Amino acid sequence: MRLNLYFLWPAAALMTALGLAAPATAQTLRMAAGTVSVSESAGTASVTVSIQNPGTTAATVQAVLLPGLGTATAGTDFTYAAPTTLTFPAGSTGSQTISIPLTDDALAEPAEYFALRLQNPSGATLVAGATDALVFIRDNDAVAPAQARNLRLQHLGSYQNGASGTNSAEIVAHDPGTQRLYVANSIGGKLDILSLANPGAITAVASISMAPYGGINSVAVRNGVVACAVENTNPQSPGAVVFFNQDGAFQKQVTVGAMPDMISFSPDGRYLVTANEGEPNADYTNDPEGSVSVIDYAGGLAGVTQAGVTTVGFAGYNGQAATLRAAGIRLYGGTTAAPATVAQDLEPEYVAFDAGSQTAYITLQENNAVATLNLATKQFTSLRSVGFQDHSLPGFALDASDQAADVLLANWPIRGLRLPDALASFQVQGTTYLITANEGDAREYTALTEAVRLGSAAYPLDPTAFPNAGLLKDNSALGRLNVTNRLGDTDGDGDFDQIYTFGGRSFSILNAQTGAVVHDSGDLLERLTSTDPTFGAIFNASNTTGTPARKNRSDDKGPEPEGVTTAVLRDTVYAFVSMERMGGVAVFDVTSPAQPRLVQYVNNRSVTSGTGDQGPEGIVFVAAQHSPTGQPLLILANEVSSTVAVYGVQLRGSVLAAQGPRPAAPLVLYPNPAQGGPVQLSRPVSGTLCDALGRPVRQLRRADRLETAGLPAGVYVLRSDDGANRKLVVR
């Protein structure tokens, strides 16, 4: 008997042996690309549909406008009234194109988009995941934001304190009495001391190793006393404030909370305050509480003792987590088995003060909040969320992809957590305002990593809230955007009903008393930098060394505004906002806090190489009367390039010099009345102490204290050479 082993034959050979025809591979249809980008002046947008595996029958498919997703309006921005049917004859290969007429209007607007979907195929099947196309219409009417230019920054020079990568220049402090700069060099583990005597040619004075004390994070200086915020060699243990004299000689140190990240003197010099971040270790087995340490500095350095240090934590808020979350404050630290308490979760980042030195304002960056601290009582008086950007609203567009070749500042159904880093205060008509640099930040530890790509399978979108999730997850749309997986699942079912990304890409102005946001710059910083005639070439580039890569931070936090400071010049309040990634500083007139005006944008970074100033972080304004040249200065500490940059400040084409007998800053005397001991002055003063009859009894030369020993009881007047007069009572 003959045995035919058909079961060993390949399927096609078997079909032939049996006299049957082999099945043809099914024809498939798909969008040739998931995204199309075209200028509105192009006249038409072309969407290509491809056929694969052509067969012996014709194939048809409809292309329909997809509802529920898009910012472009049919009939206004483009014309597409009815479904388009495409027919591919039998044996067809290649593709067909749908041409969509565009309207070239005269409106300046963000990039707009709409979507097409393939449906109802006949004679073919659709390729899963390739049925939709997102069409971007790039506006051709947008112009660069107008710059008032009534103030001008002129780059005077930059000083590099060592090779980048082995050194850094994160925070800079200026001492007008010595005309020295003190730079926190955290990578090099040093306190660098520089001479600012010639702002265009800064020179090194000394470099002090911080190895005996820990890791330097921040520095402040007052009247020749240098105070450094130093984290412990075990970062979760209490940190320290280490004091040096003007030459870097150690004086004393006191203990503060864990991981002091920022340090600052109050305007009157009575307090020295640190923001203690209290970050956990990688596996969250040691999570210290965040805190603020207030050092009594009323008696100057001689009066500083450990007993005069009050570290204020947030334990009073423990048990209020649900209420705080409902108010918009992010609390999500710890592990499932051991969630963080409120006190552990809150992480102070930066400190600013009111003009009267009565209140400190502290950003809690990861928590998206600002805390208010009464300096007299050492008690927190408020804890408020700073909210988020709604990127679906006009004025809040963003460029969300590092893989889309074009700049596509568009509105999307996402929210941006402001997560401010630095803040500064200013006053207008008796009201105190705060300005925050909305950098953004994410917790990334072994035990807790919240950042995830929106396009990742690990970030499922709710099908009801986002019926067109596939388009959003395209890498040229939102797929590359980093978002948090710790917020947005509103119904607890494991998918995300709201999308939150990191950072506002903006600055905000808040009423300090109420916490209300009176202004947010929205997409202004990205519009400004993308249209800059020079630096638009490195729009949203990272601050890494080497050739800048345009748009490689668009998927993260964009320009990352990080530093901010304010100044009053003549009758105008200015704010200076530095951008950590792309670099440079933008200047704004904030005299009308609800309607700031852009004044200027400057940058000293190369657009072709890794030279110039990169990664600005610390920012300091030097008033004319405190400047070595008599001209106001703006100083930037650039972390990545390890440079300190100095800009001269000019107003309306004229150099601003120190003018006449004008007080440098409010002058406060304390204690007042005095009991026959030394009286502290809120700033260095040259002048004369006169008795009630106007007779001089003491002469001062850049003094920060006044001896009253030997003075008869009575009323005296301190007359400062810069025009400030203050009454002093001696008992």
pLDDT reported for residue 665: 58
Calculate what percentage of the chain has a pLDDT beyond 70. Answer: 94
As a whole number of angstroms, the distance between CA 246 and CA 194 comes to: 11
Cis before residue 280, ω within 30 degrees of 0? no
Instruction: Give φ, ψ of 211 to 5 degrees.
Output: -55, -40
Quick one: 599 exposed, middle or buried, by C-beta within 10 A (0-12, 13-18, 19+)? buried
Other CB atoms within 10 A of residue 339 CB: 14
pLDDT reported for residue 653: 60
Other CB atoms within 10 A of residue 326 CB: 10
> Once rounded to an integer, what is the mean pLDDT over residues 596-618?
96
pLDDT reported for residue 96: 96
| pLDDT level of residue 654 (50, 70, 90 thresholds) | low
The pTM of the whole model exceeds 0.85: yes
Which helix H or strand E contains 172, and what residues bound it? strand 171-175
pLDDT reported for residue 682: 80
173-201: per-residue pLDDT in tens?
999 999 999 999 999 999 999 999 999 99
| pLDDT level of residue 713 (50, 70, 90 thresholds) | confident
CB 290 within 8 A of CB 305: no
Nearest to 361 by CA among 286, 436, 307, 305: 436
Strand order from edge to edge, sheet including 190-195: 171-175, 180-185, 190-195, 203-209
| pLDDT level of residue 656 (50, 70, 90 thresholds) | low
CB 604 within 8 A of CB 123: no
Quick one: 319 exposed, middle or buried, by C-beta within 10 A (0-12, 13-18, 19+)? exposed
Calculate what percentage of the chain has a pLDDT beyond 90. Answer: 83
CB 42 within 8 A of CB 86: no
| pLDDT level of residue 16 (50, 70, 90 thresholds) | very low
Other CB atoms within 10 A of residue 126 CB: 17
Is it the case that residue 12 has pLDDT exceeding 60? no
pLDDT reported for residue 25: 62
CA-CA-CA-CA dihedral for 237, 241, 242, 248, to nearest 10: 130
As a whole number of angstroms, the distance between CA 345 and CA 277 comes to: 10
pLDDT reported for residue 655: 53
As a whole number of angstroms, the distance between CA 123 and CA 55 comes to: 9
As a whole number of angstroms, the distance between CA 648 and CA 622 comes to: 10
Q: Is the dihedral of CA 185, 191, 196, 198 positive or negative?
A: negative
> Once rounded to an integer, what is the mean pLDDT over residues 518-525?
98
First and final C-alpha spacing in the chain? 131
> Once rounded to an integer, what is the mean pLDDT over residues 516-532?
98
116-163: per-residue pLDDT in tens?
999 999 999 999 999 999 999 999 998 899 999 999 999 999 999 999
As a whole number of angstroms, the distance between CA 156 and CA 199 comes to: 7
Domain ranges of the chain: 11-138, 151-441+503-654, 669-730
Beta bridge partners of 264: 273
CB 282 within 8 A of CB 313: no
As a whole number of angstroms, the distance between CA 272 and CA 275 comes to: 10
541-592: per-residue pLDDT in tens?
999 988 999 999 999 999 999 999 999 999 999 999 999 999 999 999 999 9
E runs forming strands in 527-632: 561-569, 572-579, 585-589, 597-602, 616-622
User: Which CATH superfamily is 11-138 part of?
Assistant: CalX-beta domain (2.60.40.2030)
Is it the case that residue 663 has pLDDT exceeding 50? no
Higher pLDDT, 6 or 501: 501
As a whole number of angstroms, the distance between CA 366 and CA 331 comes to: 9
Q: What is the CA radius of gyration of the chain?
A: 31
| pLDDT level of residue 83 (50, 70, 90 thresholds) | very high
What are the helix (H) ranges across 356-405?
A: none
Quick one: 691 exposed, middle or buried, by C-beta within 10 A (0-12, 13-18, 19+)? middle
Structure tokens belonging to residue 695: 């007779």
Beta bridge partners of 151: 651
What average pLDDT does the chain have? Answer: 93
What are the helix (H) ranges across 92-202?
A: none
CB 513 within 8 A of CB 432: yes
Nearest to 643 by CA among 195, 301, 58, 183: 183
Q: Is the dihedral of CA 640, 351, 346, 257 positive or negative?
A: positive
Residue 531, amino acid: T
Q: What dotted CATH number matches 151-441+503-654?
A: 2.130.10.10
> Once rounded to an integer, what is the mean pLDDT over residues 312-322?
97
335-362: per-residue pLDDT in tens?
999 999 999 999 999 999 999 999 999 9
